[in-house]
Structure 1
Amino acid sequence: MNLKRNEFFDTQVLGHPSGLFVLFFTEMWERFSFYGMRALLVLFLVSALGIGGWDWPRENALALYGTYLALLYLTPIIGGTLADKYLGNRKAIIIGAVVMTLGHASMAIESNPFFLYSGLALLVIGTGFFKPNMTSFISVLYKDFPDKKDGAYTIFYMGVNAGAFLGIMLCGYLGEILGWSWGFGLAGIFMLLGLLQFTFAQPIFGEVGNRPNKEDKTIETDDHTKVEDKLNPFTTIDKILIVLISIMGLTWVINDPLSKIGTVNFLEFGGVDYSGKIIVVTLILFVYLLGSRIVRYSPITRDKMLAVVVFAFFIIFFWASFEQAGGSMSIFAKDYTSRILSGNAAFIFNIVDIIITVVPIAIITYVLFLLFKQTFKKYFLSNLILAFSFVLIWGIVIWKIYNNFNTYSYEITYNTYQISETIDGKEIVKEFPVNSETVVPDNAVLVENTTVILSSNDFVKNDQIDIIDIDKKGANFKYLTPEQATSIDTNIDATIVRKKDNEIQIPATWFLILNSLFIITFAPLFSKWWESKYNPKPANKYAIGLFFLGIGFAFLAYGAAGIPQGAKTASVSIVWLILAYLFHTLGELCVSPVGLSYVSKLVPPRMIAFMFGVWYLALAIGNKTSGKMGSMIDEITANYNISTFFLIFTIVPIIIGFIALSLSPLLKKLMHGVR
């Protein structure tokens, strides 16, 4: 089919086909949903039952988080294969979007474990269909226009970052301010809107993507010519190993959170836990499988594939540290960072927050206006859904701005009672809240406490209110409406003392938007760097990225140096988190965009599906490792301190970065001139 005659290329927006922006907005809403939910997941799991959380230990929450991320990088291998052989890109995208919409809807009923676990499972399955096929769809659409492809992907990935930015900001804000189901629900609403917008705009793509892609039966030889061949087919032993590795690896990944959360341990036999041995054997078998296939190729092809394996090794360590963003770094933002601002600081933050919220949305709205001018009549329903989406976005943003400027801080008093108990020869003082239903024991000591709460209600002195200790640590209290107070047993009676200066509390999820903001800001500069004569060698790019990552954690380790051993809360300056996210993003810009590019350049076509699978497997291992290492936060904090925890993530990436630098000459030789 001649794509030049395709309606996809008939209308132009910003020099590209209008249909590209249909994909842009579809991907934007999907990323909105994914990152919005991801920002809330760990915080929801570790938050107190009284505010709708599950009050999980951090170790359990981060184990589930790591498994969820790992599975997200494994299912695209299956979804991409099904699309190539049976479904076609478009059907796979729609199936994925439908399944993910159901997943988000299920997670909005987060109080029921069945719905939350089902929601996570549906999101993993849906992402497997959606994620690989959106990017490959663009490749197919631009097949005959290679000179336009780089620009198309640039625009597409701006949609990715715009969606991540908005999802984290708005889902995170609603989840933390109004309730978790609001945040999870908003993610589902925009996933549904993205699905409908894409579905009703189908004619703009013509016949492209309706049928499966024809399998490429050629392989690239060492002199870069293509020949019809069937070299290196999978042997029976290869297939047995693939099945065995898949079963053992998936069992270990899923068993990790199950063994912590419940009483299920599939890898425990005779009272002995074999989890560690199983994963070691699985990795050994995988390395053998990979090596046995690579050595069957000609020397030059073999060298190039070895280079990909080395890059995959670096990527494991990078993502194991980088993905602390949604795990241990979110916990650090929630429990250890001073997020309450008052006076001028609160006013300045509100202004900055307005600018970084409104400006990107205004730019994207302008792009939407340009798309409307070209396609509104032909694709009325699709554009109507897009318009409704942005009306909803602007409505939430305006309410968010209003709420921030109309949130007040109040000094309050409340009572607790203390009882002393002797346990193992030690006197332990326990403290309990007091409310209208409380019967204070005769031997208890009544204590009057003072604290500060934030509320958009306009209270006056001596007003009687109900509050809740969010984290059960006596440091973070929230106002409860009368309706909420009647349904929560752990509510505390309080009295308003006075209204203080206007204060705000930065949501813990807010810091996650910095990654997208910094990517949008610095990506053009890095692009210029890669195009200049100073473009680093591939191994050096990874080393630079790992160094940036380590520096980011060094800021956190330094900022947390004053937090004592075993502390569960603290008030560290937000500056350290901001600097950490800045340097982590700089590291991501060195590592993330170049990885898949090297795979496509170095691997012969007959092996590319397998090697992309290896690459995604490396990402899965890195993401699972991030949860595994993050889950050690309590143990390391108790035995040492939280600064030591972040120091580990400082030292390891820097060591791996130096290894990358030392391997640069070898990798250059293995790549045989490919850049």
Structure 2
Amino acid sequence: MTSTEGGRTMATTAGTRSDTRFFGHPLGLMTLFGTELWERFSYYGMRAILLYFITDTLANGGLGLDRSTGVAITSIYGASVYLLSVVGGWLADRVIGARRATLYGGLVIALGHVLLALPGGAGPAFAGIVSVAIGTGLLKPNVSSMVGELYDRDDTRRDGGFAIFYMGINIGSFFSPIIVGAVRGAAGYHAGFLVAAIGMALALVFFVLGRKALHGAGDTVENPLTADERPGLVRAGLLIAAMVVVAVALSAVVQSVRAGGAAFGASGVVDAISYLAFAAPIGYFLVMLRSPKVTRPERSRVLAYIPLFVAAMLFWMINEQAASSLAAFASDRTVLTFLGFTIQPEFFQSVNPAIIIIGAPVMAGVWMRLGDRGPTVAHKFGIGLALAASSFVLLSLLTASFGDAKVPAWVLVLTYAVQTVGELFLSPVGLAATTLLAPRAFRSQAMALWFLAPAAGQAITAQLVSATENLAESYVPYFGTIGGVTLGLAALFFLVAPWIQRRIVEGEEDAPAPAEH
């Protein structure tokens, strides 16, 4: 018999509580570790070469779009992944369960990579990009949730299990730009996408063959739709459809004014998805603030969370430019030799996961040692945002110092390093703060709210790039302006940090006690 409690299936934890076959953890963790490692390998490998593919000439196997359009498309692709993750999480919770959502998502991702690997022009290529975005939206939020189902609430191995799982993410994302970039350099874009497809195939092999070790994790639909809820679901679907229509219509008007009546093309799609990415968090916050299920103290904490969300949005706006503007900079303005070796521009995207692998355990140890003497959650957000902004200011100043010459590779490595240290301050505490400050009636949807921050951040990037006439000639003002403005906003954030922290403390005091078994 299977019963559900606290977002887990009791049958699952009963089957894994005594399982120590994977470094002291349940064998199911190996299934999910391998699945996520190879899925991230495929995702970051494809992302590493996506901009170059979109903007390279047709003769070289690319799509021949200009640099600014390519960067905008790459950014809005990232925003779409996070927007669709909200849908993927909802489908798993209410309709198909996390395991099937992960499986279906993996199959769609594999199809997308195959479409990209086949020479066929812009049609199959964009169909492949859309497929990877949809599939990742289904898979991304649900693999992590299944890791949680492997452990009982009071199982002391839980944190260690997630640490191992996240190590798999960073191992996959470290090696993929190096390998896919090398293959792309030797045999072309479609060969690079084929390597990503092979990575996704290996992820599916791990997931399918390791299903027995999961002991039913992800099989249960935790909060299935009821007949009474279906009319409300229809209304919500119609509302979302109306929002999409409005976004497309508004984008068409803006496109017509901006380009003198030009047809609705790639830039129109970028604008429409940007508007949806901006509207989604605003709508989410309005629903929470106006809901009769939200108490007055909870409403106060939601208001306190808004500055944290804005800080996270601005942070991801900068951090997620690794595959867009920074990838363009690596190709256009960076000397691609390092320690006597010629390198591919994709290789720089491995700096972030390398530092995460090394720095995350160190940072965790520092916080444990400091205890209550360390920075507050709000101040960690502020430090992370300030470091991200400083990385762009630094890149702008160093680029200007070299004039028209290309900058050495260490400049871009340093930029990524500063950003990644900022990520170590902000990202680990972000979801914890989200779940803590979310009203109880919306706590299960907290992950969706957190995903909307990088979605909106990358939508901002897409708009900034679209407004930049010639990105290749505007790197110094582009990075300098974004970094300088964001650094000023980080300073303002520090002014409200004490107020935010007081609300977080209230959230801890009002939080319900964990359920006992």
TM-score by length of 2: 0.85
Q: Residues 319 and 122 of structure 1: is their aligned pair in 2 closer, same or farther, counting only changes over 3 Å? A: same
Trace 1:119-518 onto structure 2 (pairs within 5 A). Answer: 119-214=128-223, 243-249=241-247, 264-265=263-264, 287=282, 290-291=285-286, 293-295=288-290, 296=292, 297-340=294-337, 345-346=339-340, 504-518=341-355
Aligned equivalent of 2:391, options 552, 559, 563: 552
275-284 or 642-651: which moved more?
275-284
Tell me the CA shift for residue 613 of structure 1: 3.1
Trace 1:566-605 onto structure 2 (pairs within 5 A). Answer: 570-605=405-440
Tell me the CA shift for residue 587 of structure 1: 0.8
Distance in 1 between residues matched to 2:106 and 2:277, nearest whole Å: 33
Q: Residues 18 and 610 of structure 1: is their aligned pair in 2 closer, same or farther, counting only changes over 3 Å? A: closer
Q: Residues 618 and 251 of structure 1: is their aligned pair in 2 closer, same or farther, counting only changes over 3 Å? A: farther
Tell me the CA shift for residue 6 of structure 1: 1.3
Aligned equivalent of 1:644, options 463, 470, 477: 477
Distance in 1 between residues matched to 2:135 and 2:272, nearest whole Å: 32
Contact 2:115 2:127 survives alignment (8 Å): yes
Distance in 1 between residues matched to 2:25 and 2:393, nearest whole Å: 42
After superposition, the C-alpha distances for 1:111-142 in whole angstroms (9 at most, x for unaligned) are 52111111111111111211111011112221
After superposition, the C-alpha distances for 1:317-353 in whole angstroms (9 at most, x for unaligned) are 1111112211111111111111135xxx32xxxxxxx
Q: Residues 35 and 253 of structure 1: is their aligned pair in 2 closer, same or farther, counting only changes over 3 Å? A: farther
Q: Residues 306 and 10 of structure 1: is their aligned pair in 2 closer, same or farther, counting only changes over 3 Å? A: same
Matched, 1:44 2:32: no
Distance in 2 between residues matched to 1:87 and 1:182, nearest whole Å: 34
Q: Which has more radius of gyration?
A: 1
Q: Residues 538 and 241 of structure 1: is their aligned pair in 2 closer, same or farther, counting only changes over 3 Å? A: farther
Q: Residues 27 and 49 of structure 1: is their aligned pair in 2 closer, same or farther, counting only changes over 3 Å? A: same
Distance in 2 between residues matched to 1:88 and 1:254, nearest whole Å: 37
Q: Residues 10 and 123 of structure 1: is their aligned pair in 2 closer, same or farther, counting only changes over 3 Å? A: same
Q: Residues 116 and 285 of structure 1: is their aligned pair in 2 closer, same or farther, counting only changes over 3 Å? A: closer
Q: Residues 509 and 79 of structure 1: is their aligned pair in 2 closer, same or farther, counting only changes over 3 Å? A: same
| Residue identity matched to 1:582 | A
After superposition, the C-alpha distances for 1:585-631 in whole angstroms (9 at most, x for unaligned) are 00111111211111112223421345443332232111122233244
* 1:522 corresponding residue in structure 2: 359
* 2:514 corresponding residue in structure 1: none
Percent identity over paired residues: 28
| Residue identity matched to 1:664 | A
Q: Residues 281 and 37 of structure 1: is their aligned pair in 2 closer, same or farther, counting only changes over 3 Å? A: closer
Matched, 1:540 2:373: no
Is the partner of 1:147 in helix, strand or coil?
coil
Matched, 1:621 2:460: no
Distance in 2 between residues matched to 1:275 and 1:179, nearest whole Å: 27
| Residue identity matched to 1:601 | L
Distance in 2 between residues matched to 1:536 and 1:253, nearest whole Å: 43
Is the partner of 2:375 in helix, strand or coil?
coil
* 2:81 corresponding residue in structure 1: 72
Is the partner of 1:211 in helix, strand or coil?
coil
Distance in 1 between residues matched to 2:232 and 2:225, nearest whole Å: 16
Q: Residues 579 and 267 of structure 1: is their aligned pair in 2 closer, same or farther, counting only changes over 3 Å? A: closer
Is the partner of 2:192 in helix, strand or coil?
helix
Q: Residues 188 and 561 of structure 1: is their aligned pair in 2 closer, same or farther, counting only changes over 3 Å? A: same
Contact 1:64 1:257 survives alignment (8 Å): no
After superposition, the C-alpha distances for 1:393-449 in whole angstroms (9 at most, x for unaligned) are xxxxxxxxxxxxxxxxxxxxxxxxxxxxxxxxxxxxxxxxxxxxxxxxxxxxxxxxx
Aligned equivalent of 2:443, options 608, 611, 616: 608
* 2:500 corresponding residue in structure 1: 667
Aligned equivalent of 1:61, options 64, 70, 73: 70
Q: Residues 4 and 75 of structure 1: is their aligned pair in 2 closer, same or farther, counting only changes over 3 Å? A: closer
Tell me the CA shift for residue 54 of structure 1: 2.4
Tell me the CA shift for residue 110 of structure 1: 4.7
Contact 2:180 2:196 survives alignment (8 Å): yes
Contact 2:274 2:456 survives alignment (8 Å): no
Is the partner of 2:400 in helix, strand or coil?
coil
Q: Residues 665 and 514 of structure 1: is their aligned pair in 2 closer, same or farther, counting only changes over 3 Å? A: same
Distance in 2 between residues matched to 1:54 and 1:267, nearest whole Å: 12
Tell me the CA shift for residue 577 of structure 1: 0.5
* 1:657 corresponding residue in structure 2: 490
Query: What is the Cα-based RMSD across aligned positions, in Å?
Result: 3.5
Distance in 2 between residues matched to 1:23 and 1:277, nearest whole Å: 35
Tell me the CA shift for residue 527 of structure 1: 1.0
118-127 or 308-317: which moved more?
308-317
Distance in 2 between residues matched to 1:526 and 1:276, nearest whole Å: 38
Tell me the CA shift for residue 563 of structure 1: 5.6
Contact 1:67 1:253 survives alignment (8 Å): no
Tell me the CA shift for residue 190 of structure 1: 1.2
Q: Gaps spanning 5+ residues in structure 1: where?
A: 218-229, 347-503
Tell me the CA shift for residue 183 of structure 1: 0.8
Distance in 1 between residues matched to 2:222 and 2:269, nearest whole Å: 43
Q: Residues 536 and 245 of structure 1: is their aligned pair in 2 closer, same or farther, counting only changes over 3 Å? A: farther
Distance in 1 between residues matched to 2:253 and 2:163, nearest whole Å: 39
Distance in 2 between residues matched to 1:255 and 1:138, nearest whole Å: 45
TM-score by length of 1: 0.66
Aligned residues: 490
Distance in 2 between residues matched to 1:336 and 1:282, nearest whole Å: 31
Q: Residues 284 and 250 of structure 1: is their aligned pair in 2 closer, same or farther, counting only changes over 3 Å? A: same
* 1:478 corresponding residue in structure 2: none
Contact 2:108 2:135 survives alignment (8 Å): yes
248-257 or 650-659: which moved more?
248-257
Aligned equivalent of 1:95, options 97, 104, 118: 104
Contact 2:251 2:272 survives alignment (8 Å): no
* 1:442 corresponding residue in structure 2: none
Q: Which has the higher helix share?
A: 2
After superposition, the C-alpha distances for 1:155-177 in whole angstroms (9 at most, x for unaligned) are 11100000101111101111123
Tell me the CA shift for residue 288 of structure 1: 6.6
* 2:114 corresponding residue in structure 1: 105
Q: Residues 24 and 278 of structure 1: is their aligned pair in 2 closer, same or farther, counting only changes over 3 Å? A: closer
Distance in 2 between residues matched to 1:214 and 1:332, nearest whole Å: 46
Q: Residues 314 and 237 of structure 1: is their aligned pair in 2 closer, same or farther, counting only changes over 3 Å? A: farther
Tell me the CA shift for residue 275 of structure 1: 10
| Residue identity matched to 2:351 | L
Q: Which has the higher strand share?
A: 1
Distance in 2 between residues matched to 1:511 and 1:574, nearest whole Å: 9
After superposition, the C-alpha distances for 1:207-233 in whole angstroms (9 at most, x for unaligned) are 33222114699xxxxxxxxxxxx9xx9
Q: Residues 255 and 616 of structure 1: is their aligned pair in 2 closer, same or farther, counting only changes over 3 Å? A: farther
Q: Gaps spanning 5+ residues in structure 2: where?
A: 1-9, 509-517
